[in-house]
Amino acid sequence: MLIYLFVYLIFQINNSTNSQNKHSMLQIKNLQASIEGKEILKGINLDIKAGEIHAIMGPNGSGKSTLASVLAGRERYEVTGGEVIFEGKNLLEMSPEERSRAGIFMSFQYPVEIPGVSNVNFMKAAVNEHRKYNGLEPLSASEFLKMMREKMALVEIDPKLTSRSVNEGFSGGEKKRNEIFQMAMLDPKLAILDETDSGLDIDALRIVANGVNKLKTPENSIIVITHYQRLLDYITPDRVHVLYNGRIIKSAGKELALELEEKGYDWLKSM
């Protein structure tokens, strides 16, 4: 609780000093999306400024993961209306890889296993694509390994996992930590954490949350998508939004998360 208060205080200070003059990082305007003809997002509006942490909560099936997928560029979803501006660019026109290189990162709810592709080769390819995009030379083998080691320590990943295939045979906790490790390697401007807390025990949750907090700077932003308030004990949001039936039905400060934990969602559904 003490830590919680401490983090809370720091954020209050941060907020009061920074939020006024920060530029808008992501603007979502009346976003509508459907899958196989079924409308899931029915007009989402959201404005995320640089340095902010936004939590998106809501019951199952409300559209949280759809929103994350649409932002990351998953082709299964069809955007039927609205727009998304990321750092002044039309995000919806960009391919998933362009979005990543431009600074968007999504931590997957279900990280994918890729047999035969080692974590090292996977990350080397990704990091060098990002560097190329930013006009930088590829890293040398030793520079890259040094970077890997540093970032692995950040999320307490066993270095042995580097030579293993991506996520293959990883436990649930290892997979989620591997997501945050990738986030650390790619240093995104905007990270979308899609149910990163699901299936984690309390220790794994703390490690993952600590990793995220260490990566937080006054410039980068985070969208935390979660069912539960638990993760928000560690990653303190500036704003909490409730997504229900494809729309944001309530937005407030971080105290909303606690209220939701206590009362559930039913009291909001009639709004």
Partner 1 sequence: MNKNIDNKYVNLYINTLELLQDGAADFVNQARSEAIESFTILGIPDKKVEKYKYTNLKSAFEQDYETYFAPKTVNFQPVDIFKCNVPDLDTYKIYTLNGFYYGDKKLKNKNGIIWGSFAEASRKYPELVRQYYNKYADNANDGVTALNTAFAQDGVFIYFPKNAALEKPIQIINLLINSEDTFIQYRNLFVFDENAQAKVLICDHTLSAAKFLSNCVSEMAVGQLANVELVRMQNEHNRAVHVSSDYVVQQSQSVVNGHTITLHGGLVRNNINVRLEGEHCENHTYGLSLTDKKQHIDNYTFIDHVVPNCRSNELFKSVIDEQSVGVFNGRILVRQDAQKTQAFQQNNNLLLSYEAKMCTKPQLEIYADDVKCTHGATVGQLNEEALFYMRSRGIGEKEARMLQLFGFVYDVLQKLNLEILRERVADLVNKRLRGELTRCEGCDIQC
Which residues of the shown chain bind partner 1 in the complex (CB under 8 A)? Answer: 72-75, 95-97, 99-101, 105-106, 108, 111-117, 121-123, 125-126, 129-130, 133, 165, 182, 186
How far is the CA of 52 from the CAs of 23, 83, 107, 221, in angstroms? 11, 20, 17, 5
CA distance 24 to 262: 32
Q: How far is the CB of 90 from partner 1 (least distance, A)?
A: 18
CB 77 within 8 A of CB 71: no
Nearer to partner 1, 47 or 87 (CB): 87
Nearer to partner 1, 49 or 130 (CB): 130
What is the C-alpha end-to-end distance of the chain, expressed in Å?
Answer: 32
Nearer to partner 1, 72 or 207 (CB): 72
Query: DSSP states of 114-139 as a string?
Result: EEEEEHHHHHHHHHHHHHHHTT-PPP
Q: How far is the CB of 71 from partner 1 (least distance, A)?
A: 10
DSSP assignment, residue 165? E
Nearer to partner 1, 156 or 187 (CB): 187
Question: Residue 220: how many CA atoms within 13 Å on its side-chain side?
Answer: 21
Q: How far is the CB of 143 from partner 1 (least distance, A)?
A: 18
Q: How far is the CB of 187 from partner 1 (least distance, A)?
A: 11
Q: Name the burial class of residue 90, with classes exposed (0-12), middle (13-18) and buried (19+) by CB atoms within 10 angstroms of its CB.
A: exposed
Q: What residue type is assigned to position 138 of the chain? A: P
CB 152 within 8 A of CB 131: no
Between 202-215 and 172-186, two packed helices, what is the crossing angle to 10 degrees? 0
Q: How far is the CB of 91 from partner 1 (least distance, A)?
A: 13
Nearer to partner 1, 47 or 187 (CB): 187
Nearer to partner 1, 37 or 115 (CB): 115
Q: How far is the CB of 69 from partner 1 (least distance, A)?
A: 9
Query: DSSP states of 195-251 as a string?
Result: STTTT--HHHHHHHHHHHHHH--SS-EEEEEESSSGGGGTS--SEEEEEETTEEEEE
Nearer to partner 1, 223 or 256 (CB): 223
Q: How far is the CB of 120 from partner 1 (least distance, A)?
A: 12
